């Protein structure tokens, strides 16, 4: 069992101790299901001294992928490291507790990531869908400011969308935003604002909200991120017709991984013309 639970001040689980507890809670119904499909299971429960916890399990992994990741880095390990990076930078996110991997008759080859549950929240996409723009504008402003802070810290999310930002719903006039779900994140030792990576995060986030807002409202939230009016206009004009295919998205991921390697020898990614004048 590999985890960083002791460093975070929590009791250290061993794999034989942890897995029966999870299976016992699932079989007894002592949990709250958040999402489930054939490959992913996400639920909330209390672990280790009544700590409210969200557990994400990638289950029924392919044997080759699972063995390969033992020698490289597991998906949950990458997400744990990315969230830990944001916590160290005081950027609001789901705080990681531990990660693990294993095999069982119930789940097959699996990986587990546990994070501390953020209470009284609503995903940004649900908030936008269920409310008028004047209600959601403060939440959008808070979200884009949060993404800006994430990029300034050197973190590329890689799966940025309105469902991966949580908003506290107890005060929508002064909301707080939190970043979650970062298995595709890449960390850089420099501010990536205005780079290709920042462009892709903003593209993925903005294309999900543009259907609920007009052009002026979208430009306003982009200006909250830090874009000047001309850059925001140029960005919106470009994404209106840009629809990358899956091969193009895979090529972009390879490009980001290349910039990650180049960063180790001091070479920085160039600025995106759509985010910089």
The reply to whether CATH 3.20.20.80 applies to domain 15-116 is no
CA 29 to chain centre: 27
Count of CB atoms situated within 10 Å of the CB of 139: 25
Nearest-angstrom CA–CA distance, 261 and 256:
9
Per-residue pLDDT of the chain (277 residues; tens, 9 = 90+): 334 333 333 333 444 445 555 656 655 556 788 888 888 888 888 876 678 899 998 887 777 776 667 666 888 999 999 999 999 999 999 999 988 888 877 778 888 899 999 988 999 999 888 877 777 889 999 999 999 999 999 999 999 999 999 998 777 678 999 999 999 999 999 999 989 999 999 999 998 888 888 888 899 999 999 999 999 999 999 888 888 888 988 899 999 999 999 999 999 998 887 776 5
Q: Look-up: residue for tokens 């063995």?
A: 67
Q: Report the CATH superfamily, name and number, of domain 121-263.
A: Transferase(Phosphotransferase) domain 1 (1.10.510.10)
The CA-to-CA distance between both ends of the chain, in Å, stands at 49
Nearest-angstrom CA–CA distance, 227 and 233:
9
Nearest-angstrom CA–CA distance, 136 and 197:
26
Question: Taking a C-beta distance cutoff of 8 angstroms, is the pair 212, 133 a contact?
Answer: yes
19 by Cβ neighbours in 10 Å (0-12 / 13-18 / 19+) ranks as buried
Question: Taking a C-beta distance cutoff of 8 angstroms, is the pair 119, 108 a contact?
Answer: no
Count of CB atoms situated within 10 Å of the CB of 122: 17
Q: Look-up: residue for tokens 């990576």?
A: 197
Where are the domains positioned within the chain?
A: 15-116, 121-263
Nearest-angstrom CA–CA distance, 13 and 33:
22
E-strand spans in 170-264? 177-179, 186-187
What pTM value is reported for the model? 0.86
């Amino acid at each position: 069992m590999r985890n960083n639970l002791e460093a975070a001040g929590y009791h250290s689980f061993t794999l034989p101790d942890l897995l029966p507890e999870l299976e016992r809670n699932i079989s007894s119904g002592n949990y709250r299901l958040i999402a489930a499909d054939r490959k992913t299971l996400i639920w909330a429960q209390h672990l280790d001294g009544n700590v409210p916890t969200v557990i994400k399990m990638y289950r029924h992994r392919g044997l080759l992928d699972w063995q390969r990741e033992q020698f490289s880095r597991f998906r949950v390990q990458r997400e744990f490291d990315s969230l830990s990076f944001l916590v160290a930078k005081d950027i609001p996110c789901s705080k990681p507790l531990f990660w693990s991997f294993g095999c069982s008759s119930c789940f097959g080859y699996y990986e587990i990531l546990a994070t501390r549950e953020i209470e009284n929240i609503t995903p940004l996409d649900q908030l936008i869908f269920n409310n008028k723009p004047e209600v959601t504008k403060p939440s959008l402003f808070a979200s884009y400011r949060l993404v800006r802070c994430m990029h300034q810290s050197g973190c590329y999310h890689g799966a940025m969308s309105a469902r991966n930002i949580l908003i506290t719903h107890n005060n929508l006039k002064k909301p707080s935003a939190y970043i979650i779900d970062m298995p595709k994140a890449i960390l850089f030792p420099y501010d990536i604002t205005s780079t290709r990576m920042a462009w892709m995060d903003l593209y993925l986030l903005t294309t999900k909200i543009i259907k609920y807002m007009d052009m002026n409202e979208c430009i306003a939230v982009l200006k909250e991120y830090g874009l000047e009016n001309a850059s925001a206009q140029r960005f919106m004009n470009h994404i209106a017709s840009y629809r990358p295919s899956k091969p193009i998205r895979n090529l972009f991921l390879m490009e980001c991984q290349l910039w990650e390697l180049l960063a180790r020898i001091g070479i920085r990614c160039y600025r995106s013309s759509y985010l910089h004048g």
